[in-house]
Amino acid sequence: MDEAWTHTTVMLKEAVDALFPDMAGAPAPGDGTYVDGTFGRGGHSRAILARLGPQGRLIAFDKDAEAVAEAARIQDARFSIRHQGFKDLGELPPASVSGLLLDLGISSPQIDNPARGFSFRFEGPLDMRMDTTRGESVAEWLATADQQQIAEVIRDYGEERFAVQIAKAIVARRQERGPISTTTELAGIVAGAVKTREPGQNPATRTFQALRIFINAELEELQQALEASLVVLKPQGRLAVISFHSLEDRIVKQFIAKHSREVYDRRAPFAAPKAMELKSLGRVKPSQAEVDGNPRARSAILRVAERT
């Protein structure tokens, strides 16, 4: 693993404080089991470990083999790492977790390493898989997907209004010169198809976001993890989720809202309502100081809820 690529953890203090409500601002020990669903480069995990007491436990998940290799450097008997996505949270015992953190952002080493193919800023293979040991790369998918499929992915996951034009350009380029294999090839095709763009935003931004989300099934995995949180969290256990774009945040917001109210059965109007399963504790945005120091934090939103 190349150490040249560094990562600045977003909303480090705010997220960890949210998991330890009685310990905000004070490193008092915690003896429960905590989960970092996205280890990344371990910023949140190391901060959680610093809060844990001798009997505390931290279980981390990550699909990225490079993240798992980084996690192996933590020599702490209270810590373990699973080479799995957080969709597998449901494998943990019911009502066993005191705090669950999901940081949905892609890590800087993933973006900045050209070999991973996440960024239009660098020449690299068009891959974008979080887990490079399995699954189909973006290049492989684009080589066979039809125009309608490509347009739907770019529209639905990237909220790109020029999705049809981009899909036409991709298919035309594929028919003329063969499969698209590099990030810069794709970025150039998109730039030629997108005639206008928000100031300061690369024309390929939304397309690359859409393909990354799709190829890694990110939104589906998020839904699975949120549903699993209701099972694995203890009463008064905390759920903290950091999202970075509107599609993710909408899912988290709606999930917390749905489970933060009593549910009445219209077929049995006199029956007691089903008790709410979560208590919403609101949202937090990064400070201006953090955004100034780390521009990648600017779109972050932390939402927190407590299991009832």
Read off the pLDDT of residues 49-79 as tens digits, 9 standing for 90 and up: 999 999 999 999 999 999 999 999 999 999 9
How far apart CA 143 and CA 1 sit, in angstroms, is 29
Regarding the domain delimited by 12-108+218-307, which CATH topology (the fold level of the hierarchy) does it fall under? Rossmann fold (3.40.50)
Strands 278-284 and 233-243: unpaired
Are 171 and 146 a contacting pair, CB within 8 Å? yes
Written out in words, the top-level CATH class of the domain with range 136-215 is mainly alpha
DSSP state of 87: G
- Which residues of the chain form beta strands (DSSP E)? 33-36, 57-61, 79-82, 97-103, 233-243, 278-284, 301-307
Question: Can you give the pLDDT at residue 272?
Answer: 61
Digit-coded pLDDT (tens) for 89-125:
999 999 999 999 999 988 777 887 888 988 888 899 9
Burial of 144: CB neighbours in 10 Å, binned 0-12, 13-18, 19+ = exposed
Question: Can you give the pLDDT at residue 270?
Answer: 63
Given a cut of 70, the residues of the chain with pLDDT beneath it are 1-6, 23-29, 262-266, 268-274
Question: Can you give the pLDDT at residue 6?
Answer: 65
Both structure tokens of 71: 């996690």
How far apart CA 183 and CA 186 sit, in angstroms, is 5
DSSP state of 88: G
How far apart CA 72 and CA 48 sit, in angstroms, is 16
Question: Can you give the pLDDT at residue 7?
Answer: 73
Question: Can you give the pLDDT at residue 26?
Answer: 47
Are 118 and 128 a contacting pair, CB within 8 Å? yes
Q: Where are the domains of the chain?
A: 12-108+218-307, 136-215
Cβ neighbors of 123 (< 8 A, separation 6 or more) are 114, 182, 183, 184
Put simply, whether the predicted model's pTM sits higher than 0.85 gets the answer yes
